[in-house]
Amino acid sequence: MIKLAPSILSADYVNLQRDIEKIEKDSEYLHIDIMDGSFVPSISYGPGWVKAIRPISNLILDVHMMVQNPERYINDFADAGADLIGVHVEATPHIHRALQMIKNKGVKAEVVINPGTPVEAIKPVLYMVDQVLVMTVNPGFGGQKFLPETVKKIKQLDDLKKANGCNFDIEIDGGVNNETVKSAYEAGATVAVAGSYVFNADNPSERIEAIKQATK
């Protein structure tokens, strides 16, 4: 069964604590999308949000940095209470250094690839990560359609993981629902981010259950 990481990008910001309580008991992670208006067009929120959420949730705080040159803010997110920090390989010429910085703070390190980026781009750093995030949409917005062509990269990563005896998690993000999750799970995905499918529903925990049932 896949682990769930609801994305608060689609939550009600005025009632964030209430929305987090709705998903807390059914989820493993809480996905926090950081958008800088440069690496992606949108602007979302910063370390202050992570700091505010930390005391109200026991979930793994999964910080997805869609930020150009993420090295500038890694320490801030770690100090704010992130459990896991993801950096895009496309966002820095120094991905190895960025991942080292995350690990030096005692935080789990994740490397992220966009739909247009091949697995080969992250092969040299796979040995040092706790998680790989395969974007299943182009980052920047919630509510987009899952891109099925990304699934072969999940399989490729799962094969590499087995061949090299690594044990990183493989997360998917974008357009995930109880249908699209199936092929990704079969290919080797172990964590699913879901934003609009979970929070744009009267009963978010039913939606989480539907994703979990689809991957039994």
> Residues forming the annotated binding site for substrate?
7, 64, 140-143, 173-175, 195-196
One DSSP character per residue, 82-130 reads -SEEEEEGGG-S-HHHHHHHHHHTT-EEEEEE-TTS-GGGGGGGGGG-S
| Nearest CA among 177, 192, 116, 169 for reference residue 143 | 177
Q: 86 contacts which partner out of Zn ion, ligand DX5, none, CB within 5 to 8 A by kind? A: none
d(CA 30, CA 24): 8
Q: How far is the CB of 174 from ligand DX5 (least distance, A)?
A: 4
For ligand DX5, which is the closer residue by CB, 48 or 143? 143
Q: Does 86 bind ligand DX5 (CB under 6 A)?
A: no
Residue 209: is it exposed, middle or buried by C-beta count within 10 angstroms (0-12/13-18/19+)?
middle
Site for ligand DX5 (CB under 6 A): how many residues? Answer: 22
Q: Does 184 bind ligand DX5 (CB under 6 A)?
A: no
Under rule CB under 6 A, which residues in 142-171 are in contact with ligand DX5? 142-144
Question: Residue 188: phi, psi to the nearest 5?
Answer: 130, 5
Residues that bind Zn ion (CB under 5 A): 33, 64, 173
Q: Does 9 bind ligand DX5 (CB under 6 A)?
A: yes
User: Residue 3: CB partners within 8 Å, gap ≥ 6?
Assistant: 27, 28, 29, 169, 190, 191, 192
Which range, of 6-14, 22-30, 69-77, 160-168, touches ligand DX5 by CB under 6 A?
Answer: 6-14
Would you tell me which residues interact with ligand DX5 (CB under 6 A)? 7, 9-10, 31, 33, 64, 137, 139-144, 173-176, 193-197
